[in-house]
Protein backbone atom coordinates (compact mmCIF):
# COMPACT_ATOMS: atom_id res chain seq x y z
CA UNK A 1 0.00 0.00 0.00
CA UNK A 2 1.41 3.39 -0.90
CA UNK A 3 1.75 6.11 1.68
CA UNK A 4 1.43 9.87 1.77
CA UNK A 5 4.45 12.09 1.21
CA UNK A 6 7.24 11.62 3.74
CA UNK A 7 6.82 14.35 6.41
CA UNK A 8 10.58 14.33 6.86
CA UNK A 9 10.94 15.87 3.40
CA UNK A 10 12.58 19.29 3.57
CA UNK A 11 10.09 22.07 4.10
CA UNK A 12 12.13 24.20 1.71
CA UNK A 13 11.91 21.67 -1.12
CA UNK A 14 8.89 22.72 -3.21
CA UNK A 15 9.78 20.49 -6.16
CA UNK A 16 6.77 18.54 -7.41
CA UNK A 17 7.91 14.94 -7.66
CA UNK A 18 6.32 12.82 -10.37
CA UNK A 19 6.13 9.23 -9.26
CA UNK A 20 8.32 7.01 -11.43
CA UNK A 21 5.58 4.65 -12.59
CA UNK A 22 3.56 7.52 -14.12
CA UNK A 23 6.23 8.18 -16.72
CA UNK A 24 7.36 4.57 -16.96
CA UNK A 25 3.90 3.36 -17.96
CA UNK A 26 3.25 6.10 -20.53
CA UNK A 27 2.84 4.74 -24.05
CA UNK A 28 2.64 6.33 -27.49
CA UNK A 29 -0.91 5.56 -28.56
CA UNK A 30 -0.09 6.46 -32.19
CA UNK A 31 2.53 3.72 -32.50
CA UNK A 32 1.21 1.15 -30.03
CA UNK A 33 0.98 -2.33 -31.62
CA UNK A 34 0.09 -4.50 -28.61
CA UNK A 35 -3.23 -6.22 -27.87
CA UNK A 36 -6.29 -3.94 -27.89
CA UNK A 37 -10.02 -4.09 -27.24
CA UNK A 38 -12.81 -1.99 -28.71
CA UNK A 39 -14.17 0.29 -25.98
CA UNK A 40 -16.43 3.30 -25.65
CA UNK A 41 -15.20 6.20 -23.55
CA UNK A 42 -17.19 5.20 -20.47
CA UNK A 43 -16.00 1.61 -20.80
CA UNK A 44 -12.42 2.86 -21.03
CA UNK A 45 -12.88 4.87 -17.82
CA UNK A 46 -14.20 1.76 -16.10
CA UNK A 47 -11.33 -0.34 -17.45
CA UNK A 48 -8.80 2.19 -16.21
CA UNK A 49 -10.40 2.31 -12.77
CA UNK A 50 -10.49 -1.48 -12.52
CA UNK A 51 -6.84 -1.88 -13.45
CA UNK A 52 -5.77 0.74 -10.91
CA UNK A 53 -7.89 -0.86 -8.17
CA UNK A 54 -6.20 -4.17 -8.94
CA UNK A 55 -2.70 -2.65 -9.20
CA UNK A 56 -2.74 -0.66 -5.96
CA UNK A 57 -4.78 -1.61 -2.90
CA UNK A 58 -4.66 1.97 -1.63
CA UNK A 59 -6.97 3.03 -4.48
CA UNK A 60 -10.62 3.55 -3.47
CA UNK A 61 -13.67 4.62 -5.48
CA UNK A 62 -16.40 6.54 -3.71
CA UNK A 63 -19.50 8.48 -4.68
CA UNK A 64 -23.26 8.43 -4.98
CA UNK A 65 -24.47 5.09 -6.37
CA UNK A 66 -21.02 4.08 -7.62
CA UNK A 67 -21.29 0.68 -5.95
CA UNK A 68 -24.56 -1.19 -6.22
CA UNK A 69 -25.78 0.72 -9.27
CA UNK A 70 -22.38 1.20 -10.90
CA UNK A 71 -22.72 4.98 -11.18
CA UNK A 72 -25.27 7.16 -12.91
CA UNK A 73 -23.51 6.55 -16.26
CA UNK A 74 -22.32 3.04 -15.28
CA UNK A 75 -18.68 4.13 -15.22
CA UNK A 76 -18.12 1.97 -12.13
CA UNK A 77 -20.40 -0.92 -13.06
CA UNK A 78 -19.40 -4.28 -11.51
CA UNK A 79 -16.38 -2.77 -9.72
CA UNK A 80 -17.98 -3.26 -6.30
CA UNK A 81 -18.68 -6.92 -7.16
CA UNK A 82 -15.00 -7.38 -7.98
CA UNK A 83 -13.35 -5.30 -5.26
CA UNK A 84 -15.95 -5.21 -2.49
CA UNK A 85 -17.87 -2.48 -0.66
CA UNK A 86 -14.76 -1.33 1.23
CA UNK A 87 -12.96 -0.39 -2.01
CA UNK A 88 -15.95 0.82 -4.05
CA UNK A 89 -18.05 2.80 -1.61
CA UNK A 90 -21.58 4.14 -1.91
CA UNK A 91 -21.83 7.50 -0.15
CA UNK A 92 -24.68 9.77 0.93
CA UNK A 93 -25.85 12.38 -1.57
CA UNK A 94 -23.43 15.01 -0.25
CA UNK A 95 -20.75 16.27 -2.65
CA UNK A 96 -18.92 18.29 0.01
CA UNK A 97 -18.67 15.22 2.23
CA UNK A 98 -17.44 13.05 -0.66
CA UNK A 99 -14.58 15.41 -1.49
CA UNK A 100 -13.88 16.19 2.16
CA UNK A 101 -13.65 12.49 2.95
CA UNK A 102 -11.36 12.02 -0.04
CA UNK A 103 -9.02 14.68 1.34
CA UNK A 104 -8.85 12.86 4.66
CA UNK A 105 -8.27 9.52 2.96
CA UNK A 106 -5.55 10.93 0.71
CA UNK A 107 -3.60 12.57 3.51
CA UNK A 108 -3.82 9.26 5.39
CA UNK A 109 -2.10 7.37 2.60
CA UNK A 110 -4.99 6.21 0.41
CA UNK A 111 -5.67 7.16 -3.20
CA UNK A 112 -9.39 7.99 -3.38
CA UNK A 113 -11.23 8.48 -6.66
CA UNK A 114 -14.39 10.47 -6.02
CA UNK A 115 -17.23 10.69 -8.52
CA UNK A 116 -19.49 13.72 -8.89
CA UNK A 117 -22.64 12.59 -10.68
CA UNK A 118 -22.75 15.80 -12.73
CA UNK A 119 -20.44 18.82 -12.76
CA UNK A 120 -23.43 21.07 -12.17
CA UNK A 121 -23.95 19.45 -8.78
CA UNK A 122 -20.31 19.78 -7.70
CA UNK A 123 -20.65 23.34 -6.39
CA UNK A 124 -21.08 22.27 -2.73
CA UNK A 125 -17.70 20.50 -3.02
CA UNK A 126 -15.97 23.59 -4.40
CA UNK A 127 -15.02 24.85 -0.94
CA UNK A 128 -13.32 21.55 -0.10
CA UNK A 129 -11.48 21.60 -3.43
CA UNK A 130 -10.15 25.15 -3.31
CA UNK A 131 -9.82 25.70 0.44
CA UNK A 132 -8.20 22.38 1.28
CA UNK A 133 -7.35 20.00 -1.58
CA UNK A 134 -5.63 22.55 -3.78
CA UNK A 135 -3.63 24.07 -0.91
CA UNK A 136 -2.36 21.07 1.02
CA UNK A 137 1.05 20.94 -0.64
CA UNK A 138 1.74 24.66 -0.23
CA UNK A 139 0.07 24.86 3.19
CA UNK A 140 2.35 22.10 4.53
CA UNK A 141 5.43 23.49 2.76
CA UNK A 142 5.65 20.36 0.63
CA UNK A 143 5.43 17.91 3.53
CA UNK A 144 2.08 16.50 2.43
CA UNK A 145 0.49 15.86 -0.92
CA UNK A 146 -3.02 14.75 -1.75
CA UNK A 147 -3.05 11.91 -4.28
CA UNK A 148 -6.78 12.13 -4.98
CA UNK A 149 -8.95 12.27 -8.09
CA UNK A 150 -12.35 13.82 -8.63
CA UNK A 151 -14.16 12.60 -11.73
CA UNK A 152 -16.90 14.83 -13.10
CA UNK A 153 -19.15 14.13 -16.12
CA UNK A 154 -19.52 17.54 -17.74
CA UNK A 155 -20.84 19.40 -20.75
CA UNK A 156 -24.05 19.28 -22.75
CA UNK A 157 -25.39 17.40 -25.72
CA UNK A 158 -27.57 14.76 -24.08
CA UNK A 159 -30.72 16.88 -23.61
CA UNK A 160 -30.43 16.82 -19.83
CA UNK A 161 -32.37 19.01 -17.38
CA UNK A 162 -30.99 22.12 -15.68
CA UNK A 163 -27.75 21.70 -13.68
CA UNK A 164 -26.79 18.60 -15.70
CA UNK A 165 -24.85 20.19 -18.60
CA UNK A 166 -22.44 22.68 -17.08
CA UNK A 167 -18.92 23.21 -18.44
CA UNK A 168 -17.13 25.08 -15.67
CA UNK A 169 -13.55 24.05 -16.34
CA UNK A 170 -12.37 27.67 -16.13
CA UNK A 171 -13.17 27.88 -12.40
CA UNK A 172 -11.10 24.77 -11.70
CA UNK A 173 -8.23 25.74 -13.99
CA UNK A 174 -8.01 29.08 -12.21
CA UNK A 175 -7.24 27.37 -8.90
CA UNK A 176 -3.49 26.81 -8.28
CA UNK A 177 -2.86 23.35 -6.88
CA UNK A 178 -5.46 21.55 -8.98
CA UNK A 179 -4.61 19.71 -12.17
CA UNK A 180 -7.42 19.45 -14.72
CA UNK A 181 -7.59 16.97 -17.59
CA UNK A 182 -10.31 16.03 -20.07
CA UNK A 183 -10.19 13.19 -22.61
CA UNK A 184 -11.81 13.21 -26.04
CA UNK A 185 -11.15 9.57 -26.92
CA UNK A 186 -11.54 6.23 -25.12
CA UNK A 187 -7.79 5.55 -25.27
CA UNK A 188 -6.97 8.88 -23.70
CA UNK A 189 -9.69 8.41 -21.09
CA UNK A 190 -8.14 5.17 -19.82
CA UNK A 191 -4.62 6.60 -19.76
CA UNK A 192 -5.56 9.90 -18.19
CA UNK A 193 -7.57 8.21 -15.43
CA UNK A 194 -4.54 6.06 -14.58
CA UNK A 195 -2.18 9.04 -14.67
CA UNK A 196 -4.54 11.04 -12.44
CA UNK A 197 -4.75 8.24 -9.86
CA UNK A 198 -0.96 7.88 -9.72
CA UNK A 199 -0.33 11.62 -9.55
CA UNK A 200 0.83 12.85 -6.14
CA UNK A 201 -1.48 15.89 -6.25
CA UNK A 202 -5.25 16.36 -6.70
CA UNK A 203 -6.42 15.90 -10.28
CA UNK A 204 -9.85 16.72 -11.69
CA UNK A 205 -10.86 14.44 -14.57
CA UNK A 206 -13.59 16.08 -16.63
CA UNK A 207 -15.41 13.44 -18.64
CA UNK A 208 -17.44 14.71 -21.64
CA UNK A 209 -20.60 12.72 -21.13
CA UNK A 210 -21.73 13.43 -24.71
CA UNK A 211 -18.88 11.13 -25.76
CA UNK A 212 -19.45 8.38 -23.19
CA UNK A 213 -21.09 6.14 -25.78
CA UNK A 214 -20.64 8.20 -28.95
CA UNK A 215 -18.07 5.90 -30.58
CA UNK A 216 -15.63 3.10 -29.95
CA UNK A 217 -11.96 2.72 -30.68
CA UNK A 218 -9.22 0.19 -30.09
CA UNK A 219 -7.77 0.72 -26.61
CA UNK A 220 -4.64 -1.03 -25.29
CA UNK A 221 -5.60 -3.87 -22.96
CA UNK A 222 -2.67 -3.25 -20.65
CA UNK A 223 -2.41 -0.64 -17.92
CA UNK A 224 -0.81 2.59 -19.14
CA UNK A 225 -0.78 6.32 -18.56
CA UNK A 226 -1.23 9.37 -20.77
CA UNK A 227 1.06 12.11 -19.41
CA UNK A 228 -0.72 15.05 -17.81
CA UNK A 229 0.33 18.34 -19.38
CA UNK A 230 0.77 17.10 -22.96
CA UNK A 231 -1.58 18.07 -25.79
CA UNK A 232 -2.28 15.80 -28.75
CA UNK A 233 -2.19 16.94 -32.35
CA UNK A 234 -5.20 15.07 -33.74
CA UNK A 235 -4.69 16.37 -37.25
CA UNK A 236 -1.57 18.08 -38.53
CA UNK A 237 -1.98 21.12 -40.78
CA UNK A 238 -0.23 24.23 -42.04
CA UNK A 239 -2.95 26.84 -42.61
CA UNK A 240 -4.65 27.35 -39.23
CA UNK A 241 -4.46 25.98 -35.67
CA UNK A 242 -7.73 24.88 -34.08
CA UNK A 243 -7.40 24.40 -30.32
CA UNK A 244 -10.10 22.49 -28.48
CA UNK A 245 -10.77 19.74 -25.92
CA UNK A 246 -13.40 17.30 -24.72
CA UNK A 247 -16.56 16.86 -26.76
CA UNK A 248 -15.73 19.77 -29.09
CA UNK A 249 -12.81 17.82 -30.55
CA UNK A 250 -15.00 15.58 -32.71
CA UNK A 251 -16.88 18.36 -34.57
CA UNK A 252 -13.58 20.24 -34.90
CA UNK A 253 -11.99 17.26 -36.63
CA UNK A 254 -15.01 16.84 -38.89
CA UNK A 255 -14.80 20.49 -39.93
CA UNK A 256 -11.07 20.18 -40.62
CA UNK A 257 -11.60 17.16 -42.86
CA UNK A 258 -14.49 18.81 -44.72
CA UNK A 259 -12.53 22.01 -45.37
CA UNK A 260 -9.54 20.02 -46.59
CA UNK A 261 -11.73 18.17 -49.07
CA UNK A 262 -13.77 21.18 -50.19
CA UNK A 263 -11.34 24.10 -50.00
CA UNK A 264 -7.92 22.54 -49.71
CA UNK A 265 -7.61 24.27 -46.33
CA UNK A 266 -5.13 22.45 -44.08
CA UNK A 267 -6.34 22.88 -40.48
CA UNK A 268 -4.28 21.58 -37.57
CA UNK A 269 -6.50 20.29 -34.75
CA UNK A 270 -4.88 20.33 -31.32
CA UNK A 271 -6.70 18.49 -28.54
CA UNK A 272 -5.32 20.08 -25.39
CA UNK A 273 -6.35 17.14 -23.13
CA UNK A 274 -4.71 18.82 -20.14
CA UNK A 275 -6.14 22.24 -19.25
CA UNK A 276 -3.95 22.65 -16.16
CA UNK A 277 -1.07 22.44 -16.68
CA UNK A 278 -1.48 23.74 -20.22
CA UNK A 279 0.87 22.55 -22.96
CA UNK A 280 2.17 26.00 -23.83
CA UNK A 281 4.95 24.68 -26.07
CA UNK A 282 2.57 22.82 -28.39
CA UNK A 283 0.25 25.84 -28.60
CA UNK A 284 3.11 28.18 -29.46
CA UNK A 285 4.74 25.83 -31.96
CA UNK A 286 1.45 25.26 -33.77
CA UNK A 287 0.67 28.96 -34.15
CA UNK A 288 4.24 29.76 -35.13
CA UNK A 289 3.74 27.27 -37.97
CA UNK A 290 0.26 28.22 -39.15
CA UNK A 291 -0.04 31.93 -38.25
CA UNK A 292 -3.77 31.70 -37.55
CA UNK A 293 -5.77 30.24 -34.67
CA UNK A 294 -9.30 29.42 -33.58
CA UNK A 295 -10.24 28.25 -30.08
CA UNK A 296 -13.36 26.11 -29.65
CA UNK A 297 -15.02 25.23 -26.37
CA UNK A 298 -18.57 24.79 -25.10
CA UNK A 299 -18.15 26.72 -21.86
CA UNK A 300 -19.30 30.36 -21.71
CA UNK A 301 -17.05 32.72 -23.66
CA UNK A 302 -16.14 35.37 -21.10
CA UNK A 303 -13.11 34.65 -18.88
CA UNK A 304 -12.96 31.10 -20.12
CA UNK A 305 -10.01 28.82 -20.84
CA UNK A 306 -10.20 30.04 -24.44
CA UNK A 307 -9.26 33.52 -23.26
CA UNK A 308 -6.22 32.06 -21.52
CA UNK A 309 -5.17 30.36 -24.74
CA UNK A 310 -5.52 33.63 -26.67
CA UNK A 311 -3.35 35.35 -24.06
CA UNK A 312 -0.81 32.54 -24.30
CA UNK A 313 -0.66 32.94 -28.08
CA UNK A 314 -0.14 36.68 -27.65
CA UNK A 315 2.72 36.04 -25.24
CA UNK A 316 4.41 33.23 -27.16
CA UNK A 317 3.60 33.72 -30.85
CA UNK A 318 2.25 37.23 -31.40
CA UNK A 319 4.64 38.14 -34.21
CA UNK A 320 3.67 35.00 -36.13
CA UNK A 321 -0.03 35.88 -36.21
CA UNK A 322 -1.54 36.87 -39.54
CA UNK A 323 -5.04 37.45 -38.15
CA UNK A 324 -6.76 37.97 -34.78
CA UNK A 325 -7.51 34.76 -32.89
CA UNK A 326 -11.18 33.72 -33.03
CA UNK A 327 -13.18 32.05 -30.27
CA UNK A 328 -16.14 29.75 -31.02
CA UNK A 329 -17.78 28.98 -27.70
CA UNK A 330 -20.92 28.60 -25.69
CA UNK A 331 -22.72 31.76 -24.63
CA UNK A 332 -22.62 33.74 -21.40
CA UNK A 333 -25.87 32.22 -20.23
CA UNK A 334 -26.90 29.12 -18.32
CA UNK A 335 -26.92 26.07 -20.58
CA UNK A 336 -30.40 26.05 -22.11
CA UNK A 337 -32.77 23.13 -22.11
CA UNK A 338 -32.79 20.70 -24.99
CA UNK A 339 -34.74 22.74 -27.52
CA UNK A 340 -31.94 25.34 -27.68
CA UNK A 341 -28.99 23.17 -26.75
CA UNK A 342 -27.76 22.61 -30.30
CA UNK A 343 -27.71 26.37 -30.84
CA UNK A 344 -25.74 26.89 -27.61
CA UNK A 345 -23.06 24.29 -28.28
CA UNK A 346 -20.26 25.00 -30.80
CA UNK A 347 -21.48 22.65 -33.49
CA UNK A 348 -19.76 22.12 -36.84
CA UNK A 349 -21.49 25.01 -38.62
CA UNK A 350 -20.28 27.61 -36.13
CA UNK A 351 -16.77 26.14 -36.05
CA UNK A 352 -16.64 26.22 -39.84
CA UNK A 353 -17.73 29.86 -39.91
CA UNK A 354 -15.08 30.75 -37.31
CA UNK A 355 -12.34 29.05 -39.29
CA UNK A 356 -13.31 30.69 -42.59
CA UNK A 357 -13.61 34.15 -41.01
CA UNK A 358 -10.13 33.77 -39.52
CA UNK A 359 -8.64 32.62 -42.80
CA UNK A 360 -10.24 35.51 -44.69
CA UNK A 361 -9.31 38.16 -42.11
CA 337 – CA 246 distance, rounded (Å): 20
Tell me how far apart the alpha carbons of residues 168 and 164 are, in angstroms, rounded to a whole number: 12
Contact 325, 294 (CB under 8 A): yes
Catalytic residue among 141, 163, 164, 297: 164
* Positive/negative CA dihedral, 247, 155, 293, 233: negative
**Active site includes 164?**
yes
Side-chain-side CA neighbours of 297 within 13 Å: the count stands at 30
Q: What order do you get walking across the sheet with 293-296 strand by strand?
A: 232-235, 267-271, 240-244, 293-296, 326-328
Return the active site residues: 164
Amino acid sequence: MSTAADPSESADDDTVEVEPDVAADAIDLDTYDGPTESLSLVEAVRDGLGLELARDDSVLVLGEDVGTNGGVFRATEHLQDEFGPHRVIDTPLAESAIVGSSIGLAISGMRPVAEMQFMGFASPAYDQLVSHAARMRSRSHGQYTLPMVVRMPYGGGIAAPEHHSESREAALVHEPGLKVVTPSTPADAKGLVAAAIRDPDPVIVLEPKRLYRAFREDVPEESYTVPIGEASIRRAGDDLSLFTWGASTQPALAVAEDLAAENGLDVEVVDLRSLSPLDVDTIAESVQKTGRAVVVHEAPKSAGVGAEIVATINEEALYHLEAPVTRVTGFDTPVPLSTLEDFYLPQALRIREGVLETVEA
